[in-house]
Amino acid sequence: MTPSLNATRIYVDADACPVKDEIYRVAERHKLPVSVVAGQFIRVPQHPMIERIAAGSGMDAADDWIAERAGKGDIVITSDIPLASRCVKAGAEVIAPNGKPFTEQSIGMTLAVRNLMTDLRSSGEITGGPRSFAPRDRSAFLSALDRTIRRIQRGQQQK
């Protein structure tokens, strides 16, 4: 892995991430290292700035690996709300694959709604699932990722 002069790293919760190719392209354009983390082996492009991590088959092994490393100045891509909460609390910028940012202001309510829906499903309620991933989600994600990278870089330049 080629070290970057820039401290920002992109961590990808990769098992069910539909925007990995987009992440690779944006990261290459901005010369940012990417850690692609999954429970088991996952195929990634051969590139010195892309690191593949097989975190193990434990229940939350990939989530734990990311949460232990992500911090201020890093970007985490995940749709896993508990992981997003852990990373936001650690100071990382967190973006869902549909472009929705998880922030300190939104993560509490998002986590509460997720827990409520989990409880309803476990009691037998039929709640439906998330809507299908659409091309507009991919576009929203690309915009959100680019904005986040530029905001972090501006903050680093001001130091």
In sequence order, which residues have a C-beta less than 8 Å from that of residue 10 and are 6 or more positions away?
23, 27, 32, 33, 34, 35, 74, 75, 76, 77
Q: What is the pLDDT of residue 155?
A: 83
Q: What is the pLDDT of residue 130?
A: 66
What is each CA distance from 21 to 24, 40, 44, 84, 86, in whole angstroms? 5, 19, 9, 21, 25
Residues whose CB is less than 8 angstroms from the CB of residue 25 and which lie 6 or more positions away in sequence, other chains included = none
- Look up the pTM and report it: 0.84
pLDDT in tens, 69-118: 999 999 999 999 999 999 999 999 999 999 999 988 777 677 767 666 66
pLDDT of residue 3: 43
